[in-house]
């Protein structure tokens, strides 16, 4: 089930009504959690019911591993290993099997050994990367002694499968989200009302901005030989699309969770205002970047490593894996490594951490440079393949005249038009409380824009594929 | 109190925007004027000509069959209704909303299709094609909305919103207006030309031959209805297509339906390479299943992909026949369909008077120029045999230069003027032509005559 379908509207109305109706029952929290767990499985298995077996398997494995660690501390390491193998094994099979099999065949071929390619037609279950990381954080935190295992299976299963953030995050931490599941949810009108601006903003970003600009990005990246100007315009369109699309999902997820009395973490903080790579990763996909930081980067040594080379290797490994998480293709790995190189170079130049320029001009220059680097990164991310990007870059003309100029300018102008609500929303959110009169007018206009500009055939959320 | 004020402001703003953008009562908003005129013309042609046969399809039919020759060969008044690129959704709406309810409805409707596109309900339903479908549709078209636009459109909540909230119906107006305004500004800013220049540039940059089809996204592939293994279940395909409804509508209206699969150049090429057609095993099985299905509903299917009479040289391009191919296929089609067609209503053959015009008639000078290479001779008396907006390949008139036929016939008037070299077109009440060497026919001393090609 997807947020932009009408069936989701019925589903949400029914679930929210039943959920708050159960509020007055004895043991309300238990009934509410059971209801949400059933709803989450219905949501996840709505199109492909077999997806539920996977998430149930992952849930049972980590529930048992968590309890096992508490019961037999001597076996903690083995139980953690079982959890890692089970979860990452499932992810590996469904997401990366064909990628690795193909690359082994290519590698063997280059060594002179011919192998028949083994192609397994596996359908990637949506959201598997998200809930795998979420449930892994639970077992790792128990292993580290940072939290106690949960005995209530319903609560734990709901933590793994909570439908608003199940498919595309935010990747919640057990330490943040499980306590909310375990506590009583009291009706709070302010919280309930505050959910709607988030939901409207989410639909505006997805249906008006992301779906409309995606048309231009898709077209440019289908060209055999785009000019540099066209590629720049298409990449700008994609930059707007991916931010609008992904942050839309987060907004709708957070808004929906608020309707049910939960608070999910924020995933974006104006990432295109970043002035350095480290600043960018503090603002982009925050739940994922902090996961990578806490469970890969720091365990590998983080900033405590002694030599610059070791530090660079840690960053390269963390970001390379981060890229691979996004998809089983080399251009995603290249995107991760590209950001790693940016982080390393900025660090070597002394512009890492919380560095900020002193002057306004310095701020403007560093912002412009980082925005340019971000766009280059998105070109690597969006490219259909590394071969396409290298070939396109090799044969590229600038295209500062004729059709190329006209089409690039049109795409840029249309992207700017569709980005306006994003900019207005950012200004509004910084200047006024989210329920003030100006906001009320702005959100009413947002509703009108959704009705007037939504694509009739919307696209799936981009991050569904990851 | 503050919350109540916010709610009132929220609702009031929506109300104001809705009122400001309310649809104009006198105009049908969002409808393409040309598309509406086409529909009116087709409706009128049924009433005026009261044909026994209607040929329905896209440009493959447009280029592939000459309605005058077809009528002369079968003895049945025939109207050809076609539009470039349209697919099964358009044919469904034409059958349902134009042909079946018409007081001049025919006895037979021949539906032309290519390959598996008969069971591709969502093919070509967006962009310009949507404008044509919108001009054809009734306010409520649940089947179209379900099959062509996905089930969401059929959702009662969506319908309710659309019916109760005028703003929803303004989407078709506001969005293109705003995007066109942007294109216009960019066009004037950079080229001192309007949105047409921008649209033309977009068309050239993103032309099919510049796109790498291997890079289509999942959504684009789905929109193009590329088959997956799961989709190759024929009962599902046919159930999710317009075919069952086409048959039902035809039966209810007392129309005989005939399906014709048109041969493409790739089939002719495969035959010249020693095969029978271009079909792969999937397509062959598909045609067996389709034939069985249609046969069970007493609907004939003619598959011309294995016909050996049309050669590669009969094609202008991959899907379209040239002038010679058109007349050849018309003869093949008329002969093949003969046993499925009704008896002529009248003893007098359609276009019987045309046979008097088989001998050349000299065009009288002076010819009016259409610079640089085009010339115009008025032929008001034969307007009924001329090509027109409904059928730009209708005319079978030939222009002769000193007794030698010129060509290609039915060329674009703009190309006749700009390129000449013997191109000509019999359009409405005139013949637009050019000399073979682009000289002035008023002074080059050659004799220019016309004659109408008769079926052999």
Q: What is the pLDDT of residues A197-214, one digit of tens each?
A: 889 989 999 999 998 898
Q: Distance (Å, rounded) from C-alpha B212 to C-alpha B210?
A: 7
Q: What is the ipTM of this complex?
A: 0.77
Q: Which of B320, B349, B378 is the C-terminal boundary of a domain?
A: B349
Query: A331, A383 in Cβ contact below 8 A?
Result: yes
Q: Are residues B93 and B48 in the same domain?
A: yes
Q: Which of B302, B328, B349 is the C-terminal boundary of a domain?
A: B349
Mean pLDDT of chain A: 86
Q: Are residues B394 and B290 in the same domain?
A: no
pLDDT at B229 (0 to 100): 44
Domain range for B408 is 352-452
Q: Which two tokens stand for residue B38?
A: 């086409």
- Give the mean pLDDT of A328-342: 90
With CA atoms as reference, the chain A residue closest to B8 would be A440
pLDDT at B187 (0 to 100): 80
Q: Which two tokens stand for residue A257?
A: 């969770």
For residue B234, the tally of other CB atoms under 10 A from its CB is 16
Kindly report the nearest CA distance between residue A445 and chain B, in angstroms: 7
pLDDT at B376 (0 to 100): 95
Cβ of B221 under 8 Å from any chain A Cβ?
no
A414-439 pLDDT, tens digit per residue, is 999 999 988 887 776 676 555 677 88
Cβ of A48 under 8 Å from any chain B Cβ?
no
Report the number of distinct structural domains present in chain B: 2
Q: Are residues B342 and B363 in the same domain?
A: no
**Residue B219 located in a structural domain:** no
Q: Distance (Å, rounded) from C-alpha B197 to C-alpha A268?
A: 39
pLDDT at A464 (0 to 100): 55
Angle at B153 between CA B151 and CA B157, to 5 degrees: 110
Whether residues A223 and B187 touch (CB distance < 8 A) is answered with no
Enumerate residues 291 to 330 of chain A having a beta carbon within 8 A of any beta carbon in chain B. none
The phi and psi torsions of A378 (rounded to 5 degrees) equal -70, -30
Q: Are residues B323 and B369 in the same domain?
A: no
**Residue B177 located in a structural domain:** no
**Residue B184 located in a structural domain:** no
Q: Distance (Å, rounded) from C-alpha A266 to C-alpha B100?
A: 58
> H or E stretch including B256?
strand B256-261
B138-183 pLDDT, tens digit per residue, is 877 888 988 887 655 556 777 777 777 877 777 777 888 888 888 8
Cβ of A122 under 8 Å from any chain B Cβ?
no
**3-state SS class at B377:** strand
**3-state SS class at B346:** coil
Tell me which residues of chain B have a pLDDT lower than 70: 23-30, 127, 150-155, 191-195, 208-209, 212-232
- pLDDT above 90 coverage of chain A, percent: 43
| DSSP assignment letter at B446 | -
Q: Are residues B331 and B366 in the same domain?
A: no
pLDDT at B228 (0 to 100): 45
Question: How many contacts does A have with B, using Cβ atoms within 8 A?
Answer: 134
Cβ of A218 under 8 Å from any chain B Cβ?
yes
pLDDT at B71 (0 to 100): 94
A141-191 pLDDT, tens digit per residue, is 999 988 899 999 999 999 999 999 888 879 999 888 999 999 988 888 888
Lowest average pLDDT, out of A356-365, A387-396, B213-222, goes to B213-222
Which is nearest to A209 in space by CA: A440, A424, A430, A465?
Answer: A424
Cβ of B452 under 8 Å from any chain A Cβ?
no
Length of chain B: 456
Strand B430-433 and strand B448-452: the pairing is unpaired
CATH of the domain at B133: 3.40.50.1110
Kindly report the nearest CA distance between residue A381 and chain B, in angstroms: 14
Q: Contacts of residue A452 in chain B, CB cutoff 8 Å?
A: 21, 167, 170-171, 174-175
Domain ranges of chain A: 6-187, 190-275+356-465
Whether residues B201 and A406 touch (CB distance < 8 A) is answered with yes
Cβ of A420 under 8 Å from any chain B Cβ?
no
- Give the mean pLDDT of A291-297: 92
CB-nearest to A414 from B168, B179, B206 is: B179
Checking B281-284 for CB contacts under 8 A at 24+ apart, the result is: B282/B227, B282/B232, B283/B115, B283/B116
Question: pLDDT category, A465, cuts 50, 70, 90?
Answer: low
Q: Are residues B112 and B247 in the same domain?
A: yes
pLDDT at B226 (0 to 100): 40
pLDDT at B9 (0 to 100): 86
Q: Distance (Å, rounded) from C-alpha A370 to C-alpha A97?
A: 35
| DSSP assignment letter at B405 | E
Kindly report the nearest CA distance between residue B129 and chain A, in angstroms: 14
CB-nearest to B150 from A224, A406, A457 is: A457
Cβ of B171 under 8 Å from any chain A Cβ?
yes
Q: Are residues B290 and B340 in the same domain?
A: yes
A229-264 pLDDT, tens digit per residue, is 999 999 999 999 999 999 999 999 999 999 999 999
Query: A79, A69 in Cβ contact below 8 A?
Result: yes
Q: Are residues B420 and B272 in the same domain?
A: no
Enumerate residues 356 to 395 of chain A having a beta carbon within 8 A of any beta carbon in chain B. 384, 388
Q: How far does Cα A450 stand from its chain's mean position?
A: 23
Kindly report the nearest CA distance between residue A398 and chain B, in angstroms: 14
**3-state SS class at A427:** helix
Kindly report the nearest CA distance between residue A47 and chain B, in angstroms: 14
């Amino acid at each position: 089930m997807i947020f932009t379908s009408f069936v989701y509207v019925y589903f949400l109305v029914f679930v929210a009504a039943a959920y708050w109706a159960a509020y007055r029952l004895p043991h309300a929290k238990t009934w509410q959690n059971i209801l949400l767990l059933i709803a989450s499985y219905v949501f996840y298995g709505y199109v492909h019911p077999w997806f539920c077996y996977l998430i149930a398997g992952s849930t049972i494995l980590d529930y048992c591993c968590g309890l096992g660690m508490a019961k037999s501390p001597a076996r903690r390491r083995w139980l953690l290993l079982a959890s890692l193998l089970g979860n990452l094994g499932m992810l590996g099979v469904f997401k990366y099997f064909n990628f690795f099999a193909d690359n082994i065949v290519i590698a063997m071929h280059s060594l002179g050994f011919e192998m028949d390619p083994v192609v397994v037609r596996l359908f990637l279950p949506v959201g598997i990367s998200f809930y795998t990381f979420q449930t892994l954080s639970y077992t790792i935190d128990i292993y580290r002694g940072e939290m106690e295992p949960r005995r209530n299976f319903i609560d734990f299963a709901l933590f793994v499968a909570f439908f608003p953030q199940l498919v595309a995050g935010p990747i919640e931490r057990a330490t943040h989200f499980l306590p909310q599941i375990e506590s009583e949810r009291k009706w709070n009108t302010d919280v309930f009302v505050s959910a709607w601006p988030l939901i409207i903003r989410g639909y505006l970003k997805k249906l008006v901005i992301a779906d409309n600009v995606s048309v231009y990005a898709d077209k440019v990246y289908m060209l055999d030989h785009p000019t540099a100007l066209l590629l720049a315009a298409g990449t700008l369109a994609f930059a707007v699309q991916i931010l609008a699309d992904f942050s839309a999902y987060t907004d709708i997820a957070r808004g929906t969770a608020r309707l049910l009395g939960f608070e999910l973490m924020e995933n974006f903080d104006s990432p295109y205002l970043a002035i350095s790579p480290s600043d960018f990763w503090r603002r982009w996909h925050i739940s994922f970047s902090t996961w990578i930081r806490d469970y890969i980067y720091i365990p590998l040594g983080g900033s405590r490593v002694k030599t610059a080379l070791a530090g660079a290797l840690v960053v390269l490994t963390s970001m390379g894996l981060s890229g691979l998480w996004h998809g089983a293709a080399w251009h995603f790995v290249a995107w991760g490594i590209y950001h790693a190189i940016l982080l390393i170079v900025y660090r070597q130049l002394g512009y890492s951490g919380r560095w900020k320029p002193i002057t306004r001009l310095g701020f403007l220059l560093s912002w412009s440079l980082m925005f340019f680097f971000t766009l280059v990164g998105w070109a690597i991310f969006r490219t259909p393949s590394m071969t396409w990007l290298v070939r396109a870059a090799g044969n590229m003309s600038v295209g500062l005249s004729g059709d190329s100029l006209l089409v690039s300018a049109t795409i840029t102008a249309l992207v700017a038009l569709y980005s306006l609500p994003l900019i207005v929303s950012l200004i509004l959110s910084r200047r006024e409380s989210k329920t003030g009169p100006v906001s009320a007018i702005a959100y009413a206009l947002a509703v009108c824009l959704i009705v007037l500009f939504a694509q009739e055939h919307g696209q799936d959320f981009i991050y569904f594929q990851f | 109190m503050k919350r109540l004020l916010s709610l009132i402001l929220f609702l009031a703003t929506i109300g104001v925007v809705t009122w400001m953008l309310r649809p104009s009562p006198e105009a049908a908003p969002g409808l393409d004027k040309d598309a509406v005129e086409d529909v009116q013309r087709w409706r009128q042609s049924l009433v005026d000509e009261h044909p026994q046969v209607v040929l329905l399809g896209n440009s493959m039919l447009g280029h592939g069959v000459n309605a005058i020759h077809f009528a002369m060969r079968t003895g049945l008044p025939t109207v050809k209704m076609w539009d470039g690129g349209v697919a099964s959704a358009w044919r469904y709406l034409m059958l349902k909303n134009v042909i079946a309810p018409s007081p001049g409805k025919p006895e037979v409707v021949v539906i032309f299709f290519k390959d598996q596109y008969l069971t591709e309900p969502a093919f070509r339903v967006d962009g310009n094609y949507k404008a044509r479908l919108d001009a054809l549709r009734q306010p409520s078209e649940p089947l179209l909305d379900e099959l062509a636009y996905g089930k969401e459109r059929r959702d009662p909540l969506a319908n309710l919103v659309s019916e109760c909230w005028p703003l929803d119906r303004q989407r078709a107006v506001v969005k293109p207006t705003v995007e066109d305004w942007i294109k216009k500004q960019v066009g004037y800013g950079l080229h001192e030309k309007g949105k047409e220049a921008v649209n033309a540039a977009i068309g050239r940059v993103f032309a099919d031959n510049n796109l790498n089809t291997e890079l289509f996204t999942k959504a684009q592939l789905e929109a193009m209805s590329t088959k997956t293994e799961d989709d190759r279940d024929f009962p599902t395909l046919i159930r999710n297509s317009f075919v069952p409804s086409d048959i039902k509508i035809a039966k209810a209206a007392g129309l005989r339906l005939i399906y014709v699969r048109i041969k493409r150049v790739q089939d002719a090429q495969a035959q010249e390479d020693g095969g029978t057609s271009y079909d792969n095993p999937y397509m062959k099985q598909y045609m067996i299943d389709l034939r069985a299905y249609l046969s069970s509903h007493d609907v004939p299917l003619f598959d011309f992909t294995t016909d050996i009479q049309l050669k590669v040289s009969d094609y202008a391009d991959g899907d379209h026949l040239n002038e010679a191919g058109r007349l050849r296929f018309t003869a093949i089609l008329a002969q093949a369909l003969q046993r499925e067609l009704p008896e002529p209503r009248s003893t007098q053959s359609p276009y019987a008077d045309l046979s008097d015009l088989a001998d050349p008639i000299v065009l009288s000078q002076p010819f009016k120029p259409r610079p640089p290479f085009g010339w115009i001779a008025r032929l008001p008396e034969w307007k009924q045999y001329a090509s027109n907006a409904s059928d730009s390949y209708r005319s079978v008139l030939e222009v002769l230069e000193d007794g030698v036929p010129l060509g290609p016939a039915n060329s674009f008037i703009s190309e006749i003027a700009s390129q000449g070299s013997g191109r000509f077109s019999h359009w409405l009440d005139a013949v637009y032509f050019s000399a073979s060497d682009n000289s002035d026919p008023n002074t080059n001393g050659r004799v220019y005559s016309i004659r109408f090609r008769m079926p052999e």
